[in-house]
Chain A
Amino acid sequence: MMIEFLQTEKIMQALQHFSLILLIVSNFLLIIGFGVGKIVLHKSEDKIKFFARFTVMICILLITYFLSILLFTIGSIFSANAANSLIFPIFLFLPFVIGKFATYEKVHFYTNIQLVTLIISFIIALLIL
């Protein structure tokens, strides 16, 4: 019984570690993605195909980011570091909250807010690591 419990805890710790690395990588790429997007958005708005592919890439990164947060939270709940499970779920909702209020006229402002939240989650992830 004790061995089974220890094995489960080991799996959960491994899951937590793996998801944290995935979170850091996807988070870093998202910061670069949104940063580049912010710079080139109005400069090359006529490049529809480029932006279509670029946005699909960011979408894939966002999904990876969300999944890693979910995995990390699950891993944290079942491991000794339960307090960590409370930190990241908020970052799951923030992109949608920002999206709700965003307008085209203020797209740069809201992209900045998005970037700030991503940088915060990146720093927290690094500190936990």
Chain B
Amino acid sequence: MEKSLDFEFIHKNKCKRAVLLFHGMTGSPYEMKKMGKALFDADFDVFCYCLPGHGTSPINIKTVKWQDWYNDSVLHYKELTQKYDEVYLGGLCLGAVLAIAIAEEYRDVRGIVSLSTTLFLDGWTIPWYNFFMPIGVHTILRYYYSFPEREPYGLKNEVLRKKIAALQKRNTEALDNYPMSCIYELLKFSKLTRKNISKVTAPILLMHAKEDDLTSTKSAEFVYNNISSKIKNYIKLKNSYHLIVMDYERDYVFEKSIEFFNSLSDFAPEKTKQFSQQERAGV
């Protein structure tokens, strides 16, 4: 069951560039699939794997540590660097934090697309009793409590909301709750990532919804203001919530991601590359 949600989109002819995508906390590769297809159509080989504890029984997610997520992601990244000339990273939510954390340690990351980066849990759907969180996460209560997932499920698109709500009931593609123990691991991992953020030198494109329900734009702004990357772009989305790869502006997100990766690539189609270079130069 666990590996059935993974996907690998590989071209028949040998491709020299790959994108490794990471899904979000309590999500699965399912949420990254459309983005994966868009990148594949733009001549990238694309890989996305289920993070440890995800895509199986909801109990499994309570047993994982952030080190499991990080080590698993690094392993996939290293595998791809053996096979491809250029390896790019992309991630949503926790996946974005993973991509940034990898770039902190590995300077050969060619570029990062960081979507709805979750370094702080301060979105507008976080419950009023959030101020109890320090007591909850640092005591045994973290194994008792789960944030119940509720409307709007990270989506501004109401049609998609119903579909996602149905998927969450199955508790495989996405969970219908955020276990506090999982949040505890995310917060620990985010803290460490924030501490080392200045080590990131890889080019980065940040995209974050103004009305993100789980994490405010503070996270993306923190990354943008503190990384050492010379090439850094930040796009604020006006018509989406947290799941920007599925919401109203998903096509725009895909388009900008492809454009960004192409602008960094030595193997990009010439027209795209020229366009991107002109755009970067402000022409």
Write the residues of chain A forming the contact surface with B, with a CB cutoff of 8 angstroms. Answer: 37, 41, 45, 48-49, 51-52, 54-56, 58-60, 62-63, 95-96, 98-100, 102-105, 107, 110-111, 114
Contact = CB atoms under 8 A, between A and B. Distances in A.
B140 A110 contact: yes
A58 B58 CA distance: 23
A114 B144 contact: no
A72 to B, nearest CB: 19
A51 B146 contact: yes
A102 B176 contact: no
* In the A-B complex, the 9 residue pairs with the closest CB atoms: A55-B145, A99-B139, A59-B132, A104-B62, A95-B139, A48-B148, A107-B143, A48-B177, A55-B144
Interface SS majority for chain A: helix
B135 A59 contact: yes
Contact of B143 (A54, A95, A100, A104): A104
A48 B139 CA distance: 19
Contacts of B129: 56, 59
A58 B145 CA distance: 10
B141 A52 contact: no
B152 interface: no
Contact of A63 (B59, B135, B140, B147): B135
A103 B68 CA distance: 15
Contact of A99 (B142, B147, B177): B142
A20 B197 CA distance: 47
Contact of A56 (B59, B132, B140): B132
B63 interface: yes
A58 B144 CA distance: 10
A107 to B, nearest CB: 5
B140 A55 contact: no
B63 A51 contact: no
Nearest to B135: A59
